[in-house]
Copies of this chain bind each other. A is one copy, B any other.
Amino acid sequence: MKTEIITIGDEILIGQTVDTNSTWIANELNLIGIDVAKIVSISDNKEEIFKALYDAENYADLVLITGGLGPTDDDITKKALAEYFNTKLVQSKEVLEHVEAFASKRKVWMNERNIRQADILENSEIIQNEIGTAPGMKLKKNDVTFIAMPGVPFEMKRMMSNYIIPWLKENQIDQYIIHKLILTQGWPESRLAEYLESWEKNIPKEISIAYLPSPGIIKLRLTGKGNNKKLLEELIQDQVKKLEKLIPELICGYDSEKLEEIIGNLLKKENSQLSIAESCTGGNISHLLTSIPGSSEYFSGGVVAYSNKIKKDVLSVSKSNLIDYGAVSKEVVEEMATGVKNLYKTDFAIATSGIAGPTGGTEEKPVGTTWIAVASKDKVISKKYVFGNHRNRNIQMASITALNMLRKLILGLEI
């Protein structure tokens, strides 16, 4: 199925916004075996939209359009689509009710613009926008399916995940594609790839692999393609077992799991509470943990101690350790962990102290130097890391590394 993505809006063309929507869509489609053949970005301009639609109609079988469905005057996609498809806009009672409910809940009054959001292309199928007011629309012309979605990333993503991907899976797939993700933590991509080189050479031809790096986590994606689903599943499972023998200490999760979720599940299972003392990570570990629904069940909270005074006054770190060893030290980070554990009366605790950068480094402790401690009822374990020069990357690397240290502590693995 030849698939094209069209993004409409000036932000990308003037270089203000990176087109992450298309990347996300392409990746999601790839996961269900649909290759994107072309991605096109054009501006909010009727002639450009017409031309892009015409080209797409003569090129693709499936056309995914994002952007320009908002309530402001620069959003012209809906009008342009109506004109191109020689149809008209009609008010959808269903969408209007949704927009009204949406507005009333947010205490926003209904106005002409809101009401216009309920207009849809006649003969189009509505795709519900659960978290916004602009509905998606699906319509067919000469065997080509056009799907229009808002450009707001989280609205588009929800629509894709809940409606479009399931619909495509049911109707359009001609071969099986199976993915398995192995999450690794601890080694950089180049080291991992070199170590796995001979394994990679011997994987069966039905399976391809890709390294997906992000700060702190390298994902290994195994993809199997073919007509025999059961065989593919077995082939992938064989390779997963091989990897589990090759790099047991690096694997920290599978598929869409997040480390903050894995830890949540472990803590729930142990019926335990966690608290966190953050210096260099500045609240990011707490933020990651609390992004998971239901985290209040096992996460008591934490202290962001961004100054020595707070480390001393709130976390009971000893003045002498701060003076003798400095804030970025084994002694201080361990005191921070036990300090927050005692203050919050939790079973486990994490503490971080490091030099996130870009300034503040010394010859002895360069930017990126980070001490991380994890504590349980009966012990505290700390380790020193030297990450890089980039502040936000350092914060993310330290956060992920700290979460994985805790995971190992809870599971009784060597840290």
- Interface residue ranges, A against B (CB under 8 Å): 10-20, 22-30, 35-44, 48, 51, 55, 59, 70-74, 105-109, 111-114, 117, 130-131, 133, 152, 154, 179, 188-191, 193-194, 200, 208-213, 221, 223, 276, 278, 281-287, 289-291, 293-296, 299-307, 309-310, 313-314, 343-345, 356-359, 366, 368, 386-393, 395
Contact = CB atoms under 8 A, between A and B. Distances in A.
Contact of A114 (B23, B107, B190): B190
Given A26-B13, A73-B200, A106-B388, A111 B190 contact: yes
A263 to B, nearest CB: 14
The 5 A-B residue pairs whose C-beta atoms are closest, nearest first, are: A15-B27, A282-B290, A283-B286, A15-B26, A283-B283
A73 B196 CA distance: 11
A160 to B, nearest CB: 12
Given A43-B37, A106-B388, A301-B303, A189 B18 contact: no
26 contacts: A14-B27, A14-B35, A15-B29, A19-B19, A39-B40, A72-B190, A74-B208, A74-B209, A105-B368, A106-B386, A111-B194, A130-B389, A154-B392, A281-B290, A283-B283, A283-B284, A283-B285, A283-B304, A287-B395, A290-B395, A291-B395, A293-B359, A294-B359, A300-B310, A301-B304, A303-B303
Contact of A35 (B13, B106, B314, B344): B13
Interface centre among A24, A30, A282 (most CB of B within 10 A): A282
B108 A190 contact: yes
Contacts of A179: 14, 16
Contact of A55 (B55, B105, B289, B294): B55
A189 B111 CA distance: 12
A328 B28 CA distance: 38
B18 A190 contact: no
A28 B15 contact: yes
Given A13-B36, A15-B24, A391 B291 contact: yes
Given A290-B283, A290-B395, A293-B391, A304 B304 contact: yes
Contacts of A152: 213
A46 to B, nearest CB: 14
B11 A210 contact: yes
A19 B278 CA distance: 33
Nearest to A289: B282
Contacts of A30: 14-15
A303 B70 CA distance: 38
Contacts of A25: 15
A71 B190 contact: yes
Given A40-B40, A41-B39, A188-B108, A17 B23 contact: yes
Contacts of A73: 193, 200
A166 B12 CA distance: 23
A70 B211 contact: yes
Contacts of A282: 286-287, 289-291, 295
